[in-house]
Amino acid sequence: MITVDAALRDARSRGVERLDAHLLLSHVLGQSRAWLLAHGGDALSSDQAAAFDGLVARRAAGEPFAYLVGEREFHGLTLAVSDAVLVPRPDTETLVDWALELLRGKLRDVDAPTVLDLGTGSGAIALALKNAAPRARVWAGERSGGALAVARENAQRLSLDVHFAHGDWWDALAGEPEAPAFDLVVSNPPYIAADDPHLAALTHEPLSALVAGDEGLADIRRIAQGASGRLRAGGWLLFEHGWEQGAAVQAILQRSGFGEVSTRVDIEGRARCTGGRLVG
């Protein structure tokens, strides 16, 4: 028999942070953190102890917290996540906020602006945009069938009407006769170079969501170069990218026919999003 306090101590001794240990035990017991503090002497059932022990082992091995509890908050939404998708990051809210600024500013006179999220993963960006700007007609493309299933499930659970398309970047729209010309396209594509040392800390997330060729710029280049077929003249294309890639992404956009190119910083002040407007 093990008590709540003893289980938490055991997790700490195995290298799991105090907050994570509390949240994992809350998850297993279906109780709040306040409840844990008030019931330190209560015994866990053997099933609860085994479930907690398994989660502690996975967390101690470096698995993202979000995979263990199966969900993550993003831009005010609770999204289901699995190991088929990248765990949505707070940094990506910078991209969402920039897109919302355009929808409420330069695109405010468009009745039902058409928006596309390329490489939607869990659906995070597309769903956050539809939630905050319901008048937008939101589409989302994704190559991974596993990720697309997670995104569809999130859309259904949150009752957000997003149209999903399966396939490689712009090709995902090839079999979609209803696909409109887009006013705004956003993408957080893979942008980490294959030899980047930061990858060592990301072993639990799908490599196909993280790594791109050409020093991390290959997917950004393909999306920018293919945009003119689907983005209407005067429409916007915004990317998230690595904090040292701002100048390179600006150059890619300029060479792909974009003007008004600029870069935004994330919540930590690092250059993380670059976008521009397709010259008509």
Ligand X SMILES: C[S@@+](CC[C@H](N)C(=O)[O-])C[C@H]1O[C@@H](n2cnc3c(N)ncnc32)[C@H](O)[C@@H]1O
Summarize as ranges the residues that interact with ligand X (CB under 6 A). 85-86, 88, 92, 119-122, 124-125, 141-144, 147, 168-169, 188-190, 208-209, 219
- In the complex with ligand X, the residue whose CB is nearer, 23 or 273, is 273
Supply the minimum distance, in Å, between the C-beta of residue 95 and ligand X. Answer: 8
Binding-site residues for S-adenosyl-L-methionine sit at: 119-123, 142, 169, 188
Residue placing its CB nearer to ligand X in the complex, 124 or 224: 124
Annotated binding site for substrate: 188-191
Pick between residue 48 and residue 82 the one whose CB is nearest to ligand X: 82
**8 Å CB contact between 147 and 85:** yes
- Comparison of 24 and 147: residue with beta carbon closer to ligand X: 147
